[in-house]
Each structure stands twice: as structure tokens, then as C-alpha cells.
Chains A and B, each alone.
Chain A
Amino acid sequence: MIEIRDISKSYGDIPALKSLSLNIKKGEFYSLLGPNGAGKTTTINLLGGLMHPDSGEIIINGINLKSQAKEVKSQIGIVPQEIALYDELTAIENLYFWAKVNRVSTKGLNAKIEEILDFLGLANRAKQKISQYSGGMKRRINIAAALLHNPAILFFDEPTVGIDPQSRSFIYSIFKQLSQQGKTILYTSHYLEEAEKLSDRIGIIDYGKLITEGTFEELRKQSGLKETINISFQKIDKDVFSELKKSSLMKNSLVSGGSLDTHKCVFIVENRSENLHQIVELFAKHKVKIQQIEIKAVDLEKVYLSFTKNDLRD
């Protein structure tokens, strides 16, 4: 659906993208993550035909973007970082304008606007000026403006910046619905928890290069990060301690940096969901009463930081 073939782009002497290649399948929710200045927005600007790459090509839905930009643009809906709306106009007036700009026929447009406002939970505020909206409502109208021409492809460039968790959660539910409708979505954000939940695949970009891509599990494995399970239990005697120590599960954990004591132990495992059941069974077998289990999972943020490192990008 979206093919980026070996594109490079520089701003003067500063390279923004270096031989970037991506392939996003039809109906896929793809998150492109990276630190500030990594090249995410440049990628979206190039995909939206706002600028041209210095080299390489972009094929969207089988059409070369460079040669048939207008045709490609009509199949794309973009939600920019900014609230790109007119404050003095009402929600309906804004949506009508953006629909006409995207060549939506006037016939049935009002009904379509009402439908989208309803979908976004803003039907009762349709005639209010955007300036009177809250941050979350503005974000929702910002999304609505990209949906009116029913594009098959959606680009979301940090679409939930600066809003409260309730609004963000509502917007993520909308993204989920759009994804379920079969829309192909390219998403950039610094909210990694949501990206982890929503994405079919994730790409990590840094210094204009794609470092890695895959499903979250694939990335977690690639990162080599292990999960930690801390277990507290009633004090055990020497025999039980020796039995536990001999088990293959504990042996593997101790090799990876785990520990075992008379009243607590730390397991270092590949995947908590695969190992937790075995651990509980092991303790049950030796009649050890578990008092507390604490899991330190590997989330996307840890994986992301393992690829991009902690140093500041100013």
C-alpha cells in the first residue's frame, strides 16, 4: 500500500533522511517512532507530497507520488501535529471547508459532516466556534477534517499532543475503529504505551535511518531485554532451597543474573507470560507459600530506549 524506496532528504547540509525504505501493507497500523529530529515528520511530509525527496521514490497504492501527486493526495488523509483549523469558524464551517479542499462533492456533504461529528462525539457542539472548544475537542475536529473524503490511507503525526488522558483514550478508540474499518495508518507519537497497544508493526527511526522494524514481540526479542519476576515467600528450609536451586528454571535465571534467597528470589526471563505459570507450579510443587509476585515487564519504551539510547537530541 505504502512503499518508500530508498529515499534521502537533506535540508541544506543537514541530512534528514538517509536511504529510508519502508513497506506498509494494506490495512496495517504502522507506528513510526523516533526521537525529536529523527526524521518522522520529514517522512510524513514526503508521503503527503508536501516536499520531494532528493533521491528515491514513493509509491502509494501503486501510484508514483512524484508523477501523480494530486491523485495520491486525494487518497490520503493527514492529521498534523498542529490544530490546523480556523478558530473563528464553527466546527461545521471548518469541516465543510476541508471537505471542499479535498474535492468532496457538495451533494450529501452535510450528512457526512453530521455523521463524522457524531462518530467523534461532537454532534451537539457542531455550531460552536473552534475557539470555544477544549484542547481535546479541537484534536477530535482536527482528526475529523482528515476523514471527510474517506481516504484509504491516514497519516497521524503526533495527533494527541497536549490533551488529557480521557480525550487521548477516546481518540485511541477512534484509531482502533478506523483500523478495524481497514484503513492503512501510519502513526507517529511519543506516547509509546498507546503505540504498543495499537500497532500491528512498529518502525524505529533515528538520525534519518530506520534502525529496526517489526511487531512489538519481534522488537522486544531483537532488543535482548529480559523481564524480571520478583517473588517473596515464607522462609524456606535448606532442603527446599537446594531443590529450588537445582530446577532448570532457576538455573537458567541465575545464569542470566537472577537470585535466590531463603525468603525471596528474582527470575530473569525472556517472556513473563511464557514463564510465570512454570514458576508458580515450581513453588507449588515444593509447597512454598508465595506471598507476593512483582513483575517488571519490558514495554515499548524500554525497547525503544534500548535502540535509540538515552542521550538527549537537541
Chain B
Amino acid sequence: MWEIAKKDLLQFRKDKKALFLSFILPIILISLFAAIYGGVDGKVKSKPQKLLVADLDNTTLSAEIIDELKKEPAIKIKMVGFKEGKKSVIDGNRSALMCFYTGFADSINSGKTAPMELFYDEAKSMEIGLMQKALMSTIMSFVGQKGGKAHVKSFINQKYGEELPEDIIEEINSDIDAEFSDGGGTTSFSSDLKTTALSIKEGIRWGVIQAVAGILVMMLLFNMAGMGNSILQEKEKGTLKRLLFSPISPSAFLYGKMLSALISALIQIVILLLFSYFVFGLDLFHNPLGLFLMIFGTAFACTGFGTLIASLGSSRKQVESISTIVIIIMSAIGGSMIPLFLMPAFLQKLAMSSLNYWSIQGFYDVFGRDPAWSSFLIKPLVLFGFGIISSLLAGTYFRKRILKEYL
């Protein structure tokens, strides 16, 4: 019994792949997910939410509230024009726009409801929910203080202005100022913050879009890696050698493989989207051209990726290990597994290096947002670029590694 155990342990020690999968991969994944949840020794700082601010009132008071917002560590302010800011939110480039309308200061000074509005990307409503907490706290405190003071003064003036001497009124006003200046003036006065979701229509199921886009890309990557693996299967079986003896060129073989993978990927995407249409009511027809570009771009990028991964490995088992690791990591940082806003700042930036990110964002655009074409096209273009580069690299590695023993 001990001899068998000893032999197995020896085999395990000699199997570098098994060692890697058993020890190194879990370490990588634990580190990655710890970083995602912001738990690496408290060193990962949470990223401040970016908030666009349009100041249409342009008064001292509106400047004061903006200064207060700038002090809030959870929010990072960027001043914009109203139209520009709204477009950025609609295009999905920014999450929210806080607008202080004309009359903001006058309303506060006269103790009326202040005209202000928060526009946000409905696709990021969870993210906005977190931002709103910090935003409301600052705004309500400011409005409560300024508006409450004005409201009390206005009341005193109206009720006792004619009865009491002017010096008494002034004394009362200075007492009110003192009361509100030491932070104790948080009265029951408050002003409503109007919030408006910017989306193409009512009732969009963002959760469904996130699930469909995220899982679709991740599963497609796994399938394409499997398809790419068939190149190595052909090599191991000897059919590749036989094909190379025929009048077919190595490039024709490789691109033939990629074509079959692309067709398979397109069919897979269409079936998954049709399922989502019939079962979850996903609107496939809002932007047909955009959807076509996204389907084709995603399929092409995933196919290129699968072929590239296959060209890098020297055996099928090796490719299976590499592709599993790369896909899990790419899906984790690209937003397939966890919404991006939950991740720390550096991972959100890193997400842009994964094709999951561009695909998910593109599907958000065609299903839920209504961005300008210039803003949308970057997503399928990046995917096509990813596909072209990985296909070219796959071609190079295919010759260098897979055909090495023949050429």
C-alpha cells in the first residue's frame, strides 16, 4: 500500500502540470478574487465614483455645493456642460451627471425646493446606488443647512418683521447664523433630489443583459479554445501530417479551422440570444446593425483567441490548462463573473485588456443604451482588432511551434 502511495506521489511530483493546477492556479485565483473584493491586506483602495457635474446656476452657492462634493472622497467630480454630460451618460462613457439648474441659489435662499437632478446610466444602477449614498449625504446636509437658515429667517421676517424693532430682528438673524454655522443646523428641512435614469426605454432588464453578455462570452471562449484544440488533435492523430502531404497549404488548413470555429461561434451566439429573446424578453431588434457587428466581432475575437491559445501549446492537455486559466482570469477581470464597478480601480483599468470587457460593453450598448455610433463602434472595432491580431499571431506560432517538426 505504501509503495503505491509512494509511486503516486512521485508521479505527482514529476507531473509539472498537475503541480501547477494544484498549487499555483489556486494561489493565482485566490489573489485575483481577493483583489477584486478589495481584501488584499487592506492595501487596495476603493475607487472613487466618477460624477459629471453641470452647473447651470453658476452662482456662489452652486460653486459652494460643488466644492463640498469635491471634498467627498467617494466621488470624483468632473465639470461639464449639460448637453455634453448627458451625452456621456447616454453613450455609457460615464455613470452619472449631477445638474444644478438655474435658480438653485435663489430657491435655497428663499427656502424653496432647490432645482437639481441626477441623471444616470440605468445599466449601472447598482453602481449609482452606492454613489447616491455619498452624494445625498453631502447635498442634503448642504441644502439643509443653507435652506433651513433661509427658511427660518424668512419666517421671522414675515411673521415679526413689522412688529419687532430692526435691531432685534438683526440680533435674531445673527443668532440663527450662529446656530447654523456650527453644524448644528441640520433641521428637518430637506430638498428632494430628482433622479432620472437615461435609457432607451422603460423596463430594460439590465441583470439579464449582464448575465447573457457575460456568460455568453465566457462560454464562447471555452468552446473556441476547444475548437482550437482540435488543431493539436489533428497533429496527434496524424491527420495534420496527411493533410500537409496533400495539395492543401498549411495556411489553408489553419484558416479552414478558424472558419469552422467562427461559424460554430456565430451559431452558438445566435442560439443563446434567441433563447434570451424568447425566455427573458431580451430586445434583439433595437439596433440590428449594432447587434450584427457585436455578434460577428465577438465570434471573430473568440475564434482568434482559441486558435492563438492552441498554437501556443505543444499538447492538448497543455492547451486545456492554459486556456482554462486564461479564460477564468479574463472573465473575472473582464466583467463576466462580477460587475466591473465592484472591482478596485486597477482591475477596472486592467479589464480593458480582456475581450470580455469590450464584448459585454458592446452588448450593453445594443440592448440597453442608445449611444452615438462613434461611441459604440469602438467596441466591435476593438473586438475585430483583437481577432485580427490573435489570428496573425496564431498563424506565426502555428508555423513556429506546430509545424516545427515538419518544416
Given A45-B406, A50-B406, A84 and B239 contact (CB-CB distance below 8 Å): yes
Residues of A within 8 A of B246 (CB): 73, 98, 101-102
A15 shortest CB reach to chain B, Å: 16
Contacts of A232 in B (CB 8 A): none
Question: 10 shortest A-B CB distances, which residue pairs?
Answer: A82-B238, A84-B242, A84-B238, A48-B245, A78-B245, A70-B247, A84-B239, A101-B246, A73-B247, A50-B406
- Of B237, B405, B407, which one neighbours A84 at CB under 8 angstroms? B237
Tell yes or no: A49 within 8 A of B by CB: yes
Min CB gap B248→A, angstroms: 6
Closest to A69 in B: B247
Q: A257-290 CB contact bits vs B (8 Å, 1 = yes)? A: 0000000000000000000000000000000000
Which B residues lie within 8 Å of A78 (CB)?
Answer: 242, 245
Q: Known contacts A80-B238, A81-B238, A84-B239; is A49 also within 8 Å of B407 by CB?
A: no
Give the CA-CA distance A145 to B407 in the complex, in Å: 24
Chain B residues near A (Cβ < 8 Å): 237-239, 241-248, 405-407
Count residues of A near B (Cβ-Cβ below 8 Å). Answer: 24
Residues of B within 8 A of A52 (CB): 407
- Whether B241 contacts A82 by the Cβ 8 Å rule is yes
> What is the interface of chain A mostly: helix, strand, loop, or mixed?
loop
Q: Pick the contact of A49: B237, B242, B245 (CB < 8 A).
A: B245
Distance of B251 from chain A, by nearest CB (Å): 13
Q: Which residues of A contact B (CB under 8 A)?
A: 11, 45, 48-52, 70, 73-74, 76, 78, 80-86, 98, 101-103, 145
Query: Bound complex: CA of A102 vs CA of B246, how far in Å?
Result: 6
Give Cα A56–Cα B293 distance, bound, in whole angstroms.
52
Known: A50-B406, A51-B406, A51-B407. A84 touches B248 (CB 8 A): no
Given contacts A78-B245, A86-B239, A145-B242, 16 further A-B contacts (CB under 8 A): A11-B405, A48-B245, A49-B244, A50-B244, A73-B246, A73-B247, A80-B238, A80-B242, A80-B245, A82-B242, A83-B238, A84-B237, A84-B238, A84-B241, A85-B239, A101-B247
Alpha-carbon distance A83/B242, docked complex (angstroms)? 10
Given A51-B406, A80-B242, A74-B247 contact (CB < 8 Å)? yes
- A107 and B244 CA atoms in complex are apart in Å by 25
What distance in Å separates the Cβ of B20 from its nearest Cβ neighbour in chain A?
28
Q: Are A73 and B406 in contact (CB under 8 A)?
A: no
Kindly list chain B residues whose C-beta atoms are within 8 Å of the C-beta of A85. Answer: 237, 239
B-chain residues with CB within 8 Å of residue A49 when the two chains form the complex? 244-245
In Å, the complex CA distance between A277 and B245 comes to 51
Closest B residue to A45 by CB, please name it.
B406
A44's closest neighbor in chain B, by CB?
B245
Contact, CB under 8 Å: B237 / A82: yes
Name which residue of chain B comes closest to A146, CB basis: B242
CA distance A139 to B248 in the complex (A): 23
Q: Which residue of A lies closest to B407 (CB)?
A: A51
**A103-B245 in contact (CB<8A):** no
Given A50-B406, A51-B407, does the pair A73, B237 have CB atoms closer than 8 Å? no
Considering the complex, give the chain A residue whose CB is closest to the CB of B241. A80
Q: Complex Cα distance A245/B388, Å?
A: 88
Between A and B, 5 residue pairs with Cβ closer than 8 Å are: A11-B405, A78-B242, A80-B242, A102-B246, A103-B247
> For residue A81, which residues in chain B have a CB less than 8 angstroms away from its CB?
238
How far is B248's CA from A70's CA once the two chains are assembled, in angstroms? Answer: 8
Q: Chain B residue with minimal CB distance to A94?
A: B239
Q: Which residues of A contact B239 (CB under 8 A)?
A: 84-86
Q: How far is the CA of A83 from the CA of B239 in the complex (A)?
A: 8
A85 CA / B237 CA spacing, docked (Å): 8
- A-side contacts of B407, CB under 8 Å: 51-52
Report Cα–Cα, A153/B259, bound state, in Å. Answer: 32
For the complex, what is the distance from the CA of A212 to the CA of B185, rounded to whole Å? 110
Q: Which residues of A contact B406 (CB under 8 A)?
A: 45, 50-51
